[in-house]
A and B are shown apart, each in its own frame.
Chain A
Amino acid sequence: MSIEISDVNKRFGDFVALEDVNVSLPTGQLTALLGPSGGGKSTLLRIIAGLEKADTGTVSIEGVDATRMSPQKRNVGFVFQHYAVFKHMSVAKNVAFGLEIRKRPKDEVRARVDELLRLVHLSQFADRLPSQLSGGQRQRMALARALAVQPKVLLLDEPFGALDAKVRKELREWLRRLHDEVPVTTVFVTHDQEEAMEVADEIVVINDGRIEQVGTPDSLYDRPANDFVMGFLGEVTRLGDVRLRPHDIEISRSPDLAGSSPADVLRLTRVGFEVRLVAGTEDGREVSVVTTRAHARSLGLAEGERVWLTPSSGAATVPAMTPLVRAELAG
């Protein structure tokens, strides 16, 4: 394991940012710290980088105890949400900064900077100032700058948070490809579950300063450990006493399946290839169901029709114990 975090606690005054956090982040992988804002994920990342000190607990990086090490000595690359560019230096100078600090020979620095700028597709901007770059380009420069010193781990704090949706999507795919090319252990913080699911090998879900679940995107989606994880990773609805995903509900026109609940179709919306319907059950709740257009047509669904709903076999379900509101807000 590349990064080991044991019994870490961190408070800011009365606010508990992290509580008894224990987690191992695997070497060479792309890990996402996922959770709502203010949940403690950025604090954890900053503690790994040494920019914040844990009140108690230890952090080890690549088998070396880094708990009391200064950020200068940890050899981690850090990328900030708002780029943190050195405004008065050219793009090439920004990237060269860490190497110049280490007093590497000029030729080596130049070669390495060229190589990195090629990697992040900024070769033609080497002599520009950061203010002449777009947000996405600045963040790629910041990434090249962090990679220049060949860090043991690369840490990204909401790296695409300040970018618009289209650029964010491009950069996210690009980060995935970059990681496949340069397989340095990477940890990134995000509150966007789609981003985490799409990019990460492994996801650590953090909420209220605690780790809720650790696992691959698939395992988290299919086997959520609790209500919160389920609600945070995708849409959730409630059918009877269980909570499950709207696409995991089977619709039939007759009550022949065991455990099916009768409901009336209240609203029907077609979005592209899928059909979303809201049905009212007899206990007065509304259930959302997602199905394909072809299936909806074959069943002859329409508003006001009676249907019977059953959780499909193998559906991820959790008992409905907490109020629905919280998960719906998060999801």
Chain B
Amino acid sequence: MNALLRRLRAELFATPADGALSVALIMLLSLGAFGFLRWALTQAQWAVVKVNSTLFAVGRYPIEQQWRLWLLTALLVAASGATWGLLRAHPRPDRTGVLWPRNDRLALVLLALIALALPSALGLTLAIQTRWWGLLLLLALCRWLAGRFGANLSSTGRRLAALVWPLLYLVGMVLISGGLGLVTVSPSEWGGLLLTLLASSFAILLCFPIGVLLALGRRSELPLLRWGSVLYIEFIRGAPLITLLFLGQNILGFLLPGGLAPERVWRAAWVLTFFAAAYLAEAVRSGLAAVPRGQLEAARSLGLSYPKALQHVVLPQALRVALPAMVGQFISLLQDTTLLSLIGLLELLGTARTVMANPAFLGRNGEVYLTLAVLFWGCCAALGLSSRALERRLDPHAVPSAT
């Protein structure tokens, strides 16, 4: 207790000026917090969120097919838990790791609180509430199992385990859209968070290889390739996304081979992809520029061919340098999906606008926008945190991992 007081004193009240500033800041912050809490607890009417929670989550996805989304969520949760545990069971060879670091325990407690409190606060039926608890248990179980037994997994086994993620993405696509014996759910029925995550993950996954190729093209010695890349990057970066989205709705059907862009949703997703690729290419280019020339020379002098030298020596280093910039692009890409509402798609913002247009919820904009902001913040925070964890894991100079 005394130690805490001393620390507070040293950090907040070291000099009279510091003290005055601290007091003023604390008062300002508590005023803001107090005002917000008074609004959130007494004036706001959260019915708009409670009633429409399913709409925000998945849009007008047919209710009798929603088990598919639950199944997909369960698969994703299981894979996340297993990956989490495996990463802890296999710290980098030069570091010592702890199976259950304090932050991991904290994260699990937080997730538990959310899974227990949020569904009941949203007034979901008991059946649905138990599903969320089940998901939490699944996460904890997979995390525990992978941590407990994952250390025995060979490096080949781990590489195979990583393939679960691309596989899961394909499975998820089938589960969401149907096919292979499942009833088709047309993209026009997808909405809310589901559509937002789908469009952004699609664009993020595809813009990455395109962006890397564009960056390499821009540094190529072949004039046609170089000028083609430059032209593409500069054109896309010079045009606002919204005009490209409208343009895409009008002409993309002609540009892509038939069948690839039949639906409005997919057309928009492709435009997002091509848009993000140009920005990503610039991020990757800065990473490539940061790799010293000697690296390529050393790889070549060992007999590696140019493509192999790129793949094993230059790109791993360049991408690590470019990682923060790339994740910044991904985060703004995620937020750019809100523009899809302007071309009539019902992703999160589009759904929110239909809800607010409902006379029953007139004037409840504050609650809706706050919910939206928190949802987006959650997604972006997840991206940002995982990128920082990845950076730490890839950092060649970092000290042993913290406990």
Is B a genuine binding partner of A? Answer: no
Residues on A lying within 8 angstroms of B by beta carbon are none
Residues on B lying within 8 angstroms of A by beta carbon are none
